């Protein structure tokens, strides 16, 4: 191995958010970014500021608030993109501009419609511009693995010459196989010796299910930064999975050598948060973070693990934050007990946050016999989101039976005022959603509706995620409650909050 340290570049908030159906608001992005900082990633790619005012604001909010990690903004090799990216991240503790342009002939001919000479000149000028604004510049050659190796090396060398400190060689369409990719990376080091003086990164997509394998092959060839996403989120089939990359390097350190700076005990919490806010469930058999990753059904396996864990487990669940907590609270527990339990889970709540969380906790505890550690983690996430809501569900009433048309009434609070709405419709959920539309003055169309249990037992917290189309654009919302009707109503209101921030609801 050429390095003892591998840098983790997290693109959950940029490439991950490009997964179909994901639409995070700036507060949700900040919540994920703060958790990524606790996880210990080296770089957070916070977004693509030129793409929308909302994305710009989300990146700027992260740059202003998150410390201890580089905050990166993506920009095409276009002057306005680069300057906008800088405006979004310039208040970061460690800002990075990440600019890119395609280098494959298929992209040059059909997408950019430019010659190789034009692309080389654009890359030079835009990297130079970025370097004049920001000390830390990353350059990516999009579709690198389908590019002519000699031309690619020339572009990469030029980027280094103009001031890029990190060079990314992406497998943009997930086309490479590991042996081919490692050879390709080695070839670039040979053709462009300047790469030995900078950080060489790879960004592998998972179209053929090889993103993690290709990333490891690149490390063996000399790459020192891996671009990845929590739960493997991303365009099409996704990106290399952060948790898999990190735990492979951790578990097989004796063989592979290098390590990351990731705090592995935060992996499970990060995975849950990203899943909850994006609405993308983690498949049960997903490596590291799937609910079955440390489960044993076979009697032979159970017998072995009970006698000696390492007979069938190559990792300790506690190392990824999967250890079972003894924290159990009930309706008689006080504010101090809640604060202590939250601190044991790693949360340091300010007085106002604690008061909000305690009020919510009491509502749950009155309806649920025991409040577990997992309940508490979701409770904090829900409180953070509620503090940013413009519309807040204050009360609801649903009347339904097999012999009558369901009727709903709701009261929504907006900036201190009360909005009332009512509706009669063919189903209970449809009725309450239309009552919310009536109160807010929106015309929402339900495009997706998902319900899942986040804890065990009949009194489990239920999580509802909806996607609502307003003015022909989709907006997502998610909420938690013991009562699925309440969770559904809150999720719908949260989707309208996102629509309001985008200007689709007045």
Per-residue pLDDT of the chain (506 residues; tens, 9 = 90+): 356 899 999 999 999 888 777 778 788 899 899 999 999 999 999 999 999 888 999 999 999 999 999 999 999 999 999 999 999 999 999 999 999 999 999 999 999 999 999 999 999 999 999 999 999 999 999 999 999 999 999 999 999 999 999 999 999 999 999 999 999 999 999 999 999 999 999 999 999 999 999 999 999 999 999 999 999 999 999 999 999 999 999 999 999 989 999 999 999 989 988 988 887 888 889 999 987 787 654 554 445 545 666 665 678 888 888 765 455 677 777 777 777 777 766 667 778 777 877 877 777 777 666 676 666 766 666 665 666 678 999 999 999 888 889 999 999 999 889 999 999 988 889 999 999 999 999 999 999 898 887 766 666 778 888 889 999 888 888 888 878 898 899 999 988 988 888 788 88
- What pTM was computed for the model? 0.81
**pLDDT given for residue 215 in this prediction:** 98
User: Is residue 224 classed exposed, middle or buried when 0-12, 13-18 and 19+ CB atoms within 10 A define those classes?
Assistant: buried
Cβ atoms within 10 Å, residue 249: 21
**pLDDT given for residue 389 in this prediction:** 79
Q: CA 346 to CA 38: how far, in whole Å?
A: 10
Query: Helices 335-344 & 351-367, crossing angle to 10 degrees?
Result: 100
Q: CA 349 to CA 196: how far, in whole Å?
A: 45
Pairing verdict, β 7-10 and 43-47? parallel
The DSSP symbol for 114 reads -
* Domain 389-501 grouped into CATH 3.30.160.270: yes
User: Is residue 259 classed exposed, middle or buried when 0-12, 13-18 and 19+ CB atoms within 10 A define those classes?
Assistant: middle
Overall CATH class of domain 7-278: alpha beta
**pLDDT given for residue 503 in this prediction:** 85
Instruction: Please choose, from the candidates 425, 397, 394, the residue with its C-alpha nearest in 3D space to the C-alpha of residue 409.
Output: 397
Q: CA 272 to CA 374: how far, in whole Å?
A: 10
Q: CA 23 to CA 478: how far, in whole Å?
A: 11
**pLDDT given for residue 385 in this prediction:** 61
What string of DSSP letters covers 222-238? T--EEEEBGGG--STT-
Q: CA 377 to CA 255: how far, in whole Å?
A: 36
């Amino acid at each position: 191995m050429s390095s003892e340290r591998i840098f983790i570049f997290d693109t959950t908030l940029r490439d991950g958010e490009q997964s179909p159906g994901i639409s995070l608001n700036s507060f949700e992005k900040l919540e994920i970014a703060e958790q990524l900082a606790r996880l210990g990633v080296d770089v957070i790619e916070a977004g693509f500021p030129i793409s929308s005012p909302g994305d710009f604001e989300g990146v700027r909010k992260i740059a202003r608030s998150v410390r201890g990690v580089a905050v990166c903004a993506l920009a095409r090799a276009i002057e306005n993109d680069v300057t906008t990216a800088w405006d979004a991240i310039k208040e970061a503790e460690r800002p990075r501009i990440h600019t890119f342009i395609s280098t494959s002939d298929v992209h040059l001919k059909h997408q950019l419609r430019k010659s190789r000479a034009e692309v080389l000149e654009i890359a030079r000028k835009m990297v130079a511009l970025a370097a004049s604004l920001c000390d830390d510049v990353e350059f990516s050659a999009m579709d690198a693995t389908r590019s002519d190796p000699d031309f690619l090396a020339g572009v990469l060398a030029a980027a280094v010459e103009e001031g890029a400190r990190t060079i990314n060689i992406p497998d943009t369409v997930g086309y490479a196989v590991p042996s081919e990719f490692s050879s390709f990376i080695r070839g670039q080091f040979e053709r462009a010796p300047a790469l030995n003086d900078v950080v060489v990164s790879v960004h592998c997509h998972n179209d053929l299910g090889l993103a993690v394998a290709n990333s490891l092959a690149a490390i063996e060839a000399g790459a020192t930064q891996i671009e990845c996403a929590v739960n493997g989120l991303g365009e099409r089939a996704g990106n290399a999975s952060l948790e898999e990359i990190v735990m492979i390097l951790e578990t097989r350190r004796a063989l592979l050598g290098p390590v990351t700076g990731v705090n592995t005990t935060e992996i499970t919490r990060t995975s849950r948060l990203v899943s909850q806010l994006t609405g993308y469930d983690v498949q049960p058999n997903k490596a590291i973070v799937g609910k079955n990753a440390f489960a044993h059904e076979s009697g032979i396996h159970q017998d072995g693990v009970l006698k000696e864990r390492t007979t069938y487990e190559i990792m300790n669940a506690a190392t990824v934050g999967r250890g079972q907590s003894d924290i159990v609270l009930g309706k008689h527990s006080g504010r101090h007990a809640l604060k202590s339990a939250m601190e044991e889970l790693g949360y340091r709540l300010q007085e106002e946050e604690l008061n909000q969380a305690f009020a919510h906790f009491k509502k749950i505890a009155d309806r649920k016999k025991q409040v577990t550690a997992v309940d508490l983690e979701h409770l904090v996430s829900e409180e953070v989101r509620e503090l940013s809501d413009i519309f807040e569900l204050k009360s609801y009433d649903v009347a339904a039976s097999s012999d009558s048309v369901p009727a709903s009434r709701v009261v929504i609070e907006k900036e201190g005022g009360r909005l009332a709405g009512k509706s009669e419709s063919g189903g209970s959920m449809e009725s309450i959603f239309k009552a919310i539309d009536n109160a807010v003055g929106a015309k929402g169309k339900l495009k997706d509706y998902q319900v899942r249990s986040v804890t065990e037992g009949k009194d489990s917290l239920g999580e509802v995620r909806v996607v609502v189309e307003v003015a022909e654009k989709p907006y997502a919302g998610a909420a938690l409650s013991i009562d699925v009707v309440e969770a559904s109503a809150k999720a719908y209101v949260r989707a309208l909050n996102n629509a309001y921030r985008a200007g689709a609801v007045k």
